[in-house]
Structure 1
Amino acid sequence: MAGLREVSRSAHSLSLSQILRLGQSCWACQRRSSSTETKPDQAALGVVTHSSFDIPQLTPEQKATFRPWKRAADRKFNLPSSRYQYHPPKYNRGPLHPIQSPMSSDPIARDFVPGPFNLPRLKQTYQSTVAPDLMTLAYNHVPPGTKNKEPPADRLRGWDGSSPYHENRQKRGPRGAPVLPIRERNITFRNIPEIKEITVSAYVPEALKNDDHLVVARTVVLNLTGAMPEITRTRKSVVQWGIVSGRPAGVKATIYGNAAYEFLDRCTQLVFPRIKDWKGIKATTGDSSGNLSWGLNPEDVALFPEVEASYSVFPAKMIPGVKIFVKTTATSDRQARLLLQAMGIPFYGEIRN
């Protein structure tokens, strides 16, 4: 602080002419230290100042002395194995474990599926036309501020209380089924029904006596779906039919995503129109949960282009019939039927919702 006071006192003691002369001398010094020529900015001109070509080439002596294998052999201690842990863990041991499974989008993940490589035509139609039409068709306007309805009554049956043991006992299950069917939910922009997966299965009882039937059925299902089929086995033994439990007697394959849309597109555009006197699919099909199914005879299976292209490879008498299960995100058979009708699948007969 004392130094600042002395500087201020000395500045007050100077006259105006002395201050002007001091300023001119400082300005002259500044002009002499500056340059009148402007140097172009290399970065602004896009000129790369450093390049990999500026790195000097290795000499033959340096190349001869570069031996990484010898350096690894001379290493006294091995590197930790965690540095080479490129494969994801086989089991997920919880969110607090130090080793976590990568995301399914990571190529090293165990559940990684490459793709999608294309956008099926039927899926484009669903996104542009079918989904908006379904939402408009099943629209249920609820004004803002509407109070929620009373909660639905309990669908499980209670006990009549005729015995003291009925107290605090769990309610009885539904009649005719071990579990309650799901309730139909209103279609909104959040839950528009769509295809989730398609399962193609073939039951070949002749495979119990001749394994060639199972090989042909597996090849046919593989050509239809593009997925490796899984061999199914019989559950019970039937002496009259010669069926033994635990024996391989069928195959099945499940496809998802774009593959499911492509398979359904082939059915509606290439197979169904060529079936003679084909009425459609029975409207009574369904499991009351939004899943529909239908079957195809061996003659109908031969109409698929994948089977026609190599028809001579399969023995004609060994081509099996298949059962097709379409699993949707709908909550009732009515919604699933609306979805498949919009995609070109006809239904006939009595409708059961």
Structure 2
Amino acid sequence: MASLRGVSRPARGLPICNPSRSVFPACTRRNGSTQAAEAAAPIPELLELETDSKLDAPELSPEEKKIFRPWKRAADRKIPLPGSRYQYHPPKYYRGPLHPIQSPAASDPVARDFVPGPFSFPRLRQTLYSTIAPDLMTLAYLHTPPGTPKKEPAERLRTWDDSSPYHKNRPLRAPRGAPVLPLRERNITFRNIPEIKEITLATYVPQAIKDADHLVVARTALLALTGTLPDITKTNSNVAQWQIIKGKKSGVKTTMYGNDAYDFLDRCINIVFPRIKDWKGIEASTGDSCGNLSWGFTPDQLALFPEIEVNYDMYPAKMIPGCRVFVKTSATSDRQARLLLQALGIPFTGEIRD
């Protein structure tokens, strides 16, 4: 301490390696892990990995941008990176809930069935969830007083009269005149509120058998309306008087799901239907008894869509086809499907057939 008294006051505050004081030593310490890391040979597969973060790296100069070509480096790499360590592939098949390896959820970006989005929420769909859904529950509410005996549903299948010994243990027969048994209508609750599942657009162009340009125009028109590439359909039978040959390309169809279906229905309700002259509405007798409704557009009505009207001169004259629209809902009866579409803004006309 006597030697420090002769030093100036600012110099006394400098850290000096003194064994009696708990300060860091001036020399670096070497341990076993450091020596082992230096002695180990570098792995060639790990040389391609970057240790620094790209968030902290400075921006490349124009000269470096011309040289930096990651795709060229990946193409020139002779030894690929080990897939088990740097590439994760989820299982292709689902092998049950007890399997040790489970597929990630569909919302996980690494999942095989991952679909990015949704990037927008249609106004019609938001109106359905916020306003129409409670109204549908109110309109379809059926009050049952306490103590009311439960009414058993009527038999949908016909029984055998046991007039023959072969009728024993045979399954029940389908109702007369109904080859396909319709769905049984369920009451609307908060668990099964009807909604739009998909919308299919289909057009039949018999002129395409002789002139393929009609098929190109029909496919272009549906592509502009839906944003998806339509599939080409073929005829299933021969009709000699109409010169229809089996197996010839004569139509196109496409299907929209989710938000695309709601966007298309929104354009129909707010843009196309109000512009149709002397239009009374959709026939109320439409439906397949399972909650699926349909209607059609003539060529003049199809031209009212803004996607076609903005490029109307691009289509040849009198070659824009009409189309059929099939709306598939989650309702279990046509009555519930009409109730849903009426709440969305589609008018119905004519005699109602349940």
Same fold (TM over 0.5): yes
| 1:303-327 Cα shifts (integer Å, max 9, x gaps) | 1011112222221322111100111
Structure 2 residue aligned with 1:121: 123
- SS of 1:253's equivalent in the other structure is strand
Q: Which runs of no fewer than 5 residues in structure 1 stay unpaired?
A: 1-61
Structure 2 residue aligned with 1:345: 346
Structure 1 residue aligned with 2:68: none
- SS of 1:318's equivalent in the other structure is coil
Q: For residues 201-220 of structure 1, what are the structure 2 equivalents within 5 Å?
A: 201-220=202-221
| Cα distance, 1:177–1:308 mapped onto 2, change above 3 Å | same
Q: Which amino acid aligns with 2:140?
A: A
CA distance in 1, matches of 2:168, 2:193: 43
- For the aligned residue pairs, the C-alpha RMSD in angstroms reads 2.8
Q: TM-score, normalised by structure 2?
A: 0.72
Q: TM-score, normalised by structure 1?
A: 0.73
| 1:107-151 Cα shifts (integer Å, max 9, x gaps) | 3434332211111111122122211111111112345x6576143
CA distance in 1, matches of 2:261, 2:226: 8
**May I ask how many residue pairs the two structures share in their alignment?**
285
Structure 1 residue aligned with 2:30: none
Q: Which amino acid aligns with 2:173?
A: R
| Cα distance, 1:240–1:106 mapped onto 2, change above 3 Å | farther
| Cα distance, 1:78–1:310 mapped onto 2, change above 3 Å | closer
Task: Give the number of the structure whose alpha-carbon radius of gyration is greater.
Answer: 1
Structure 2 residue aligned with 1:272: 273
Structure 1 residue aligned with 2:111: 109
CA distance in 1, matches of 2:275, 2:317: 18
Q: For residues 231-270 of structure 1, what are the structure 2 equivalents within 5 Å?
A: 231-270=232-271
Q: For residues 32-111 of structure 1, what are the structure 2 equivalents within 5 Å?
A: 68=44, 82-83=84-85, 86-88=88-90, 92=94, 101-111=103-113
Structure 1 residue aligned with 2:9: none
Cα distance, 1:245 vs structure 2: 2.2
Q: Which amino acid aligns with 1:132?
A: P
| Cα distance, 1:218–1:92 mapped onto 2, change above 3 Å | farther
| Cα distance, 1:277–1:172 mapped onto 2, change above 3 Å | same
Q: Which protein is richer in helix relative to its size? A: 1
Say whether residues 1:296 and 2:269 are aligned partners. Answer: no
| Cα distance, 1:109–1:315 mapped onto 2, change above 3 Å | farther
| Cα distance, 1:306–1:96 mapped onto 2, change above 3 Å | same
Q: Which amino acid aligns with 1:313?
A: M
CA distance in 2, matches of 1:87, 1:241: 54
CA distance in 2, matches of 1:99, 1:251: 42
CA distance in 2, matches of 1:106, 1:237: 50
| Cα distance, 1:271–1:71 mapped onto 2, change above 3 Å | closer
Q: Which runs of no fewer than 5 residues in structure 2 stay unpaired?
A: 1-37, 49-78
| Cα distance, 1:339–1:231 mapped onto 2, change above 3 Å | same
Cα distance, 1:157 vs structure 2: 0.9
Cα distance, 1:328 vs structure 2: 1.0
| Cα distance, 1:148–1:255 mapped onto 2, change above 3 Å | farther
| Cα distance, 1:154–1:70 mapped onto 2, change above 3 Å | closer
CA distance in 2, matches of 1:276, 1:87: 57
- SS of 2:199's equivalent in the other structure is strand
Say whether residues 1:185 and 2:193 are aligned partners. Answer: no
Structure 1 residue aligned with 2:150: 149
CA distance in 1, matches of 2:47, 2:231: 50
Q: Which amino acid aligns with 2:132?
A: V
Cα distance, 1:103 vs structure 2: 2.6
Q: For residues 328-343 of structure 1, what are the structure 2 equivalents within 5 Å?
A: 328-343=329-344
Say whether residues 1:134 and 2:136 are aligned partners. Answer: yes
| 1:253-306 Cα shifts (integer Å, max 9, x gaps) | 111111111111100111111111111101111111111100000111111011
| 1:124-183 Cα shifts (integer Å, max 9, x gaps) | 22122211111111112345x657614324221122222111111122112222232112
Percent of aligned positions that are identical: 69
Q: Which amino acid aligns with 1:197?
A: E
For the 8 Å contact 2:302–2:322, the answer to whether it is kept is yes
| 1:75-105 Cα shifts (integer Å, max 9, x gaps) | xx99875557655555555556676544322
